[in-house]
Amino acid sequence: EIITYVVEKIDGVDKVLKVFTEKYIDGMRIEMDLQIVFGKNIQSISKNVQNATIHSIDTMTGINLFGIDINITSIIKKD
């Protein structure tokens, strides 16, 4: 829920479709499927999503993150 809340506020992200987590003894790895807005820079969106996710998880939970994989699974055109 933290990830969805934070990521959906990022410019260019329409919605978070799925979030997968792999839990380990000393941290976790995150994979997420996103729907983005047509015409936005995918690389910039991905970097902003990674930075926001790292910051929010670290600040709110203190859990170590071993990686964040972002899959752009859908692009939507908004008027």
Answer whether residue 8 shows pLDDT above 80.
yes
pLDDT digits (tens, 9 = 90+) for 14-55: 999 999 999 999 999 999 999 999 999 999 999 999 999 999
Structure tokens at 44: 């910039």
pLDDT (0 to 100) of residue 71: 96
Q: Which residues pair with 23 in a beta bridge?
A: 28
CA dist 70 → 1, 19, 31, 79 (Å):
16, 10, 6, 25
